Each structure stands twice: as C-alpha cells, then as structure tokens.
C-alpha cells in the first residue's frame, strides 16, 4: 500500500525553507520545527535541487551531517536567479528516519525583510463603539455618535 501526496504526514517535524539572494550570492535558510519532538542540532542529509528558469539541467547538491543549532541551518548556494525554483529534502533522525520536503523561490533578501517588517506592523481592525466604523487597534480613536 502506498501513501499518496494528499495523505497526512507521517512525521512530527516540519521544514521551512527560504532562498535569499544578496550581494554575495544566494543563501538557503532552513528551519526544522516540531510541537512534540525534540528539535535536531544536526541534519543527517540535505539534498537541494536548483531548477533552471528556462531549459537546462537541474543542479543537485547533497550535504551530510549539516550543523543545525536549534533546528536552523544556513547554506550558501552561489549565485541563483530571482524566482528560480529550489527544492529541498532533509533527513532528520529521531529514533526513526524523518524525511522532510520544502519548495521555495529565490527572493531578494531586502524584499523578504521588508515584507516581514510590514507584516509585523499590521494590526487587526476593530469596530468602533456605535458607528460601525473600522479603526486600527494601533491608534485608538474616539468615535462621535
């Protein structure tokens, strides 16, 4: 019996990946997290596939025993193009073997930081006392009915 791609994951771990393009090249940031299992300090194997924007061969990078303090690892990938597709497969051993997959597109490092700042500044809206007007929770305003 085979497991389909739509089935629930069989691991307690999850993987997030960001490929960030800066002046010195592209850096792949990996983060392994779990709500119930211990966070690994090293990644047994990391496989990175870098797909070309047009036609061409896929570049494959295999790394073993990658240090990951608190589940985080940063890997230099050289110079990739913006919006280039990067596919990551990570092996984490915690009793059993856990295989984690993630996909990302290369983004400018400054753009990612800007988006994080904007998201952190966003506040939910709340309804005003009797008028029904919407206001940001950042600056409370007095409503006049």
Q: What is the pLDDT of residues 1-57, one digit of tens each?
A: 334 444 455 788 999 999 999 888 999 999 999 988 999 999 999 999 999 998 889
**Number of Cβ atoms within 10 Å of the Cβ of 105:** 13
Give me the residue spans of the domains in the chain.
13-136
Q: Tell me the pairing of strands 134-136 and 125-127.
A: antiparallel
pLDDT tens per residue, range 59-112: 999 999 999 999 999 999 999 999 999 999 999 988 888 999 999 999 988 765
Q: Which CATH architecture has domain 13-136?
A: Sandwich (2.60)
Quote the CA–CA distance of 20 and 80 in Å, as a whole number: 9
Query: How many residues are listed for the chain in this entry?
Result: 145
**CA–CA–CA angle 113, 14, 80 (5° rounding):** 45
**Number of Cβ atoms within 10 Å of the Cβ of 83:** 11
Quote the CA–CA distance of 56 and 24 in Å, as a whole number: 24
């Amino acid at each position: 019996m085979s497991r389909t791609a739509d089935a629930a994951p069989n691991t307690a771990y999850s993987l997030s990946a960001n490929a960030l393009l800066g002046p010195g090249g592209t850096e792949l940031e990996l983060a392994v997290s779990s709500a119930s299992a211990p966070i690994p300090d090293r990644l047994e194997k990391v496989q990175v596939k870098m797909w070309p924007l047009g036609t061409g061969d896929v570049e494959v990078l295999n790394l073993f025993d990658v240090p990951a303090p608190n589940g985080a690892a940063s890997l230099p990938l050289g110079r990739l193009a913006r919006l280039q597709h990067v596919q990551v497969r990570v092996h984490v051993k915690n009793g059993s073997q856990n295989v984690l997959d993630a996909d990302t597109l290369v983004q400018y490092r400054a753009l990612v930081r800007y988006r994080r700042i904007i998201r952190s500044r966003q506040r939910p809206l709340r309804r005003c006392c009797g008028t029904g007007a919407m206001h940001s929770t950042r600056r409370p305003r007095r409503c006049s009915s």
